[in-house]
Amino acid sequence: MKQLCLYILSFLGLVCVGVCKPREYILIKQLKTWTDAQSYCRLNHIDLATVQTDEDLKNLRQTASENAFALYGWIGLYNDITSWRWSHQDESVAYFNWYPGFPDNYGSGEECAVLRHDGYWFDYYCTLTRWSLCFEDKNGTVKYYLVDHSEV
């Protein structure tokens, strides 16, 4: 019985290695509103970036650090009036990393989220311009890269 459990756990571990892929990010170094950033990401990649796990956040922070990202960037998180959602496939949010005290909807109308270089999220006015973070799907592997698209 013990051998069977080890075999099953080993098999599940191998399945996870084959299926659980870390995410990487694309940083668009051009100021855009949230809507323009989403349109750009959907046209050229898949959508604005999502962060659903600690591993996603870790990979994002590591890549941001490697690319000296020290600002705020749009992610695919928005408030649809009843709850915060991811723009990609209108996914519900299973993982949160709000800065303490956020979202605060300061002054009303902060319906989109930015990611700060340290990995925390802040609610923000969608009409303001920021850099943006997109993701891509290559050969069934979700990829998020930080690259300089200043020519965009």
CA distances from residue 63 to 25, 68, 70, 83 in whole angstroms, order as listed: 7, 9, 12, 29
**What is the DSSP secondary structure assignment for residue 41, as one 8-state letter?**
H
**CB of 149 within 8 A of CB of 67?**
no
Domains along the sequence of the chain with CATH? 22-143 (3.10.100.10)
- Please give the structure tokens belonging to residue 64: 């941001």
Instruction: Please give the pLDDT value at position 74.
Output: 93
pTM of the model: 0.76
Give per-residue pLDDT as tens, 31-63. Answer: 999 999 999 999 988 999 888 888 888 877 776
CA distance 112 to 110: 6
- The 3-state DSSP composition of the chain as helix, strand, coil percent (nearest 5) reads 30, 30, 40
Looking at every residue in the chain, the average pLDDT score rounds to 77
Condensed to tens digits (0 to 9), the pLDDT of residues 20-37 reads 445 557 788 889 999 999
Q: Mapping DSSP to helix (H, G, I), strand (E, B) and coil, where does residue 90 land?
A: helix
Joined tokens for residue 57: 């956040």
> Tell me: the pLDDT tens digits for 141-152?
656 554 444 433
Q: What is the pLDDT of residue 128?
A: 96
pLDDT at 10 over 50: no
